[in-house]
Amino acid sequence: MPRIAYFGPQGTFTEQAARAFDEHADLVPLSTIPEVVAALRAGAADFACVPIENSVEGSVSATMDTLAADDPVVAVGEHVLPIRFSLLTRPGTAAADITTVASHPHALAQVRDWLGKNLPGARQLASTSTAAAAVGVLDGEFDAAITAPVASAHYPLTVLASDLADEGDAVTRFLLLAPPGTVTEPTGSDRTSVIVVVSHRPGELAAMLTEFALRGLNLSRIESRPLRARFGEYRFYLDFDGHVSEARVGDALAALHRRSQDVRFLGSYPKADGSASVAVPGSQDTDYEASAAWLAALRRREQE
């Protein structure tokens, strides 16, 4: 039974995502994202489950920074979870009794309208996680908690309301991380993630993006953050369609490697939405084989 370390405590959305990757896994909650990834690097866990981005809040900086630093780890899967909250109370509590409601600030922000309409008199208090708020309710610290649905499986609390979300389509994307060298087999619907350090030469970012465009590789995400230690350089997080074993993806990765002293491969893994990667004309593996054969013949002085 594989051990999956995840960003806990128990009862969070990250636990839900970890269960989605493997419902029979031995789940190990740890309290910070760096601790989760460190457990994987140290061999204390086989996999690590962490949030990478939320459609409302944006990137999870702690995950991004952890992936860029120390020894590399690679993603072998992604899971996209619709973010819909439950309102938990102690048994017997009615909505009218609620004077305080607690949750992680991001969660409170995502149900602000609902709280304004349904619990207008309740004071909103911040907790370190949605699950910590549930523990606070259990301990009598707060009257109610805004939590992930899975929290009700861990704590003897009542679900007073569920499926709460101001933005009906908010989602969070989670990665399942594994030790470096783990690469999934290509499925025809894969995503590849990399971190590239780009020097501040004129046109260098445009050149990097053009390397993808020319090979017909669809970029699904690009995020930059300046490197404080090295002024004038930027770290880019890139997600794009395709698998490292495909010719056009390998060709683009090799081009990035020539452009940058610092490319970190973050894995090729099946896309959560299962949408097929489409190769533009001339970018199929067979096209690469044909062009390589043609060039090799030229160099052997055997022109067709």
- Which positions from 257 to 276 touch its own copies by CB under 8 A, shown as an x/- string? xxx---x-x-----------
Structure tokens at 228: 């404080």
* 278 part of the interface to its own copies, by CB under 8 A: no
Q: Minimum distance from CB of 180 to its own copies (Å)?
A: 4
* 302 part of the interface to its own copies, by CB under 8 A: yes
Quickly count: other Cβ atoms within 10 Å of residue 243's Cβ.
23
* 181 part of the interface to its own copies, by CB under 8 A: yes
- For 118, the enclosing helix (H) or strand (E) is helix 112-118
* 290 part of the interface to its own copies, by CB under 8 A: yes
* 254 part of the interface to its own copies, by CB under 8 A: yes
* 282 part of the interface to its own copies, by CB under 8 A: yes
Of 45, 46, 76, 64, the residue nearest 227 (C-alpha): 64
Integer Cα distance of 237 and 194 in angstroms: 6
- Which positions from 202 to 231 touch its own copies by CB under 8 A, shown as an x/- string? -----x--xx-xx-----------------
* 291 part of the interface to its own copies, by CB under 8 A: yes
For its own copies, the closer of residues 151 and 279 by Cβ is: 279
| Burial profile 112-148: b = 16 or more Cβ within 10 angstroms, e = fewer | eebbeebbeebebbebebbbbbbbbbbeeebbbbbbb
* 255 part of the interface to its own copies, by CB under 8 A: yes
CB of 209 closer than 8 Å to CB of 244: no
Q: Minimum distance from CB of 274 to its own copies (Å)?
A: 24
Q: Write down how long the chain is.
A: 304
Give residues with Cβ within 8 angstroms of 282, minimum separation 6: none
Cis peptide before 9 (omega within 30 of 0): yes
Q: CB-hemisphere CA count at 13 Å for 142?
A: 25
- Which positions from 62 to 101 touch its own copies by CB under 8 A, shown as an x/- string? ----------x-x---------------------------
Q: Minimum distance from CB of 210 to its own copies (Å)?
A: 6
Residues at the site binding its own copies, with contacts judged by CB under 8 A: 72, 74, 180-183, 207, 210-211, 213-214, 244-245, 250, 253-255, 257-259, 263, 265, 282-283, 287-288, 290-292, 294-295, 298-299, 301-303
